[in-house]
Chain A
C-alpha cells in the first residue's frame, strides 16, 4: 500500500535526500520548504504521515501548523525531527499529537522503525474508524428495527426451543403482559402444557414458516382470534436458535363472519316457522271471509282472534330479525321504572290468563327512574315473563301454575327484577345454552332468538342475569340493572366470547356484562316467542 508522506524542512537538500530514501520504501512523498507550501500541499493531499522539522528559517513556527494538521486529519501521523537540543521543548508542546520525535541527523534505523509504527497505526486507526462508523450504522439500524418491532400492529414474540418468550413487542406486552421467559402457551392460552399443532415447534423442526389460526386469551380475559405466522431465527452457522411468531388480531373479521353465518343460519331455520305462521294467517283470513259472508259472529270472533295472534307472532319475529340483523345502538332515555314494569305486566297478563297461569306481581312504587332504552328493556322483560309462562304450560306434572314478578330497588344504583315460576325447570345443559343464538326448547315454534336478545339487551344496559333452576322445580331469574348507562367500550374492546365461569356453583350460572354487540352467544335458556 502506497502511503502519502509530506516532508517539511527548510533545508531543501536534506529534504530531497530523505524523499529519495523514502520513495524507495513505497511512500508517495511531497516536500515543503516553507509554511505556506506545507499548508497548501496538506490541504490538497491530506498526507497520512507528516515528517517535519518545526524550525523554519531559524524560527519556531511549525508547532501551530502541525497542531492544525492533526486537528483537520486526526488519522495523520506526525513525526518530528529536529536538532537534539530542541527535542525536549517540542515534546512538551506537541505531546501525544506526535507519534514520535527523532533527532537530526536522522538515524535510518530509527526512521524506518518509526515509519513502520506509523503505517501500523494508520491501518489500525482506519480499521477502527471503519468499525466505529459501522457500529453507528448498526446502532441506528437496531433502533429503527426495534421501533418497527414495537410499532407493528401485530403481536410479535420470539421463543426458544422450550417455547419460552425471549422478546416481545409493545402490543404483545400491552395485552399479554411483560414477563420475559414465560411459556408461550401459558401467556397466550393459559395452558400448562404445549399446545397441539404448535407452529413454532413445526418451524423448529423444518425451518419453514408456518401459519395457523388460534383463539388466545389476553391477561384481562378477553378472547381474540389471531392469524399466526412463524419464521426461524438462525445463528451465524445457520442453526435455528429461536423462532419468531407474529399474530394478527382478526377478531373483528371473525365476528362479522360469525354474524353473517348465523344470519344465514337463522333465515334458514326460521323459514319453517314463517311458513306455518303464514298458513295459519291464511286460515284466519279464510274464516273471517266466510264468517262475514255467513253473518256468523262466532266465526268472525274466532277468526279475528286467530289473525291477531298470528300478526302478533309475525310482528315479534320480524322485530327479532331486525334486531339481530342490525346491531342497533340503544336509545337511552330517563325511564320511570315503575311504569315500565307495569306495562310489562299488562302485556303478559292476557297471555298468562289465557293459559290459566296465575301471574302475581309485586312492584315497588318507589322503584324510581333509570337510564334505559325503554322499548328494548320492556321487550326483554316481557320475554322473561313469557318464557316463565311457557315453562308453566309445558309442565304436565301439576295444574296449579304461577309466575311471580317482582321489581324492587337494589341499593341506590341498581334495580332488581325477579321472575320466578313453578314450571318445568331446566337441566344444566338447557341453562347453559339458554341464551345461545338459535337455541330453542320449543321445537319449530321458537325462533331461538328471544332469550338471546333478552340477554343481550340486559347486558348491553350493563346489567346481569342470574339463573337458578332445576328440572321439575321451576326457575328463578334475577335481573340486576344499573340505573345509569354503562360507560361505553369502544367496539374493538368488546370481547369475542364470554369466558365461561371457572367454577360455577351447581345449577347456577352468572352472566356478567358486557357481551359483544350481538357478538356471540353467551350462555344459557330456551327461548321465548310462542
Chain B
C-alpha cells in the first residue's frame, strides 16, 4: 500500500491538482481547506507527508506547523511548504522543502520520493 499524503490548501483547484498528481504516482491522498481541519485530519489519518500552504483563511501555515509540532503523535511527519509567498523559505524552518507556486511538478515528485524512501 502506498504512502498517504495530506494536502492542506484553501484553493480547491490547487488541491485538485496535487491530489491527482500524487494519486497518479501511486500515493493515497487526503486534503483539508484550512489549518484547523488539517490538524484534525492529520491526527485521524496519520499521513506520511504533508504539503502545506502558508496563506489560508483563519490560521496560517506556520500556526498549523507549531500546533502539529506540539502533538507527539504527528510531530515527526515531514512537511513540504507549497506557497505563493515569496521569501517563504524561512516561514517554517524545519520543513523538508519549500516550493513557490507555480511549482515544478518533477521537482515536487522527486522531493516526495526522496522524503518517503
Contact = CB atoms under 8 A, between A and B. Distances in A.
Asked if A pairs with B, the answer is: yes
A281 B84 CA distance: 14
Contacts of B103: 279, 282
Nearest to B104: A282
B85 A282 contact: no
A283 B55 CA distance: 19
Contact of A287 (B10, B20, B57, B86): B20
B72 interface: no
Interface stretch (A103-111, A232-240, A269-277, A421-429): A269-277
Contacts of B102: 275, 278-279, 281-282
Contacts of A279: 11, 13-14, 17, 84, 101-103
A526 to B, nearest CB: 15
B101 A275 contact: yes
B46 to A, nearest CB: 26
A279 B105 CA distance: 10
A309 B85 CA distance: 23
Nearest to B20: A287
A280 B17 contact: yes
A286 interface: yes
B21 interface: yes
A290 interface: yes
Interface residues of B, number: 20
Interface in A350-388: none
Given A276-B84, A282-B103, 6 more contacts: A271-B84, A275-B101, A279-B17, A286-B20, A306-B16, A310-B13
Contacts, number: 58
B15 to A, nearest CB: 9
B13 A280 contact: yes
Nearest to A290: B24
26 contacts: A271-B84, A271-B86, A275-B84, A275-B101, A276-B11, A276-B14, A276-B101, A278-B102, A279-B11, A279-B14, A279-B17, A279-B84, A279-B101, A280-B11, A280-B13, A281-B102, A283-B13, A283-B14, A283-B17, A283-B18, A286-B21, A290-B24, A306-B13, A306-B16, A310-B13, A444-B10
Contact of A282 (B10, B57, B105): B105
A280 B16 CA distance: 8
Interface in A296-312: 306, 309-310
By DSSP majority rule, is chain A's interface helix, strand, loop, or mixed? helix
A283 B16 contact: yes
A278 B101 contact: yes
Interface residues on A, range: 10 to 19
Interface in B64-86: 84-86
A13 to B, nearest CB: 117
A252 B20 CA distance: 53
A278 B101 CA distance: 8
Nearest to B53: A276
B100 interface: yes
Contacts of A271: 84, 86
Interface string B1-32: 00000000011011011101100100000000
Most central of A280, A284, A286, A444 by chain B CB within 10 Å: A280
B85 A272 contact: yes
Contacts of B18: 283
Most chain A Cβ neighbours within 10 Å, of B11, B57, B85, B103: B11
A219 B78 CA distance: 66
Given A272-B85, A275-B102, A444 B55 contact: yes
A191 B11 CA distance: 50
Nearest to B16: A283
A443 interface: yes
A343 B14 CA distance: 32
A443 B57 contact: yes
Contacts of A443: 57
Contacts of A286: 17, 20-21, 105
Contacts of A309: 13
A281 B105 CA distance: 12
A181 B2 CA distance: 88
Contacts of B13: 276, 279-280, 283-284, 306, 309-310
A283 B13 CA distance: 7
B13 to A, nearest CB: 3
A310 to B, nearest CB: 7
B88 to A, nearest CB: 11
A310 B102 CA distance: 13
Contacts of B14: 276, 279-280, 283
Contacts of B84: 271-272, 275-276, 279
Interface string A418-437: 00000000000000000000
Contacts of A275: 84, 100-102
Contacts of A283: 13-14, 16-18, 20-21
Contacts of A278: 101-102
Interface in B96-117: 100-103, 105
Interface string A121-157: 0000000000000000000000000000000000000
The residue among B10, B18, B20, B21 with the most chain A CB atoms within 10 A of its own CB is B20
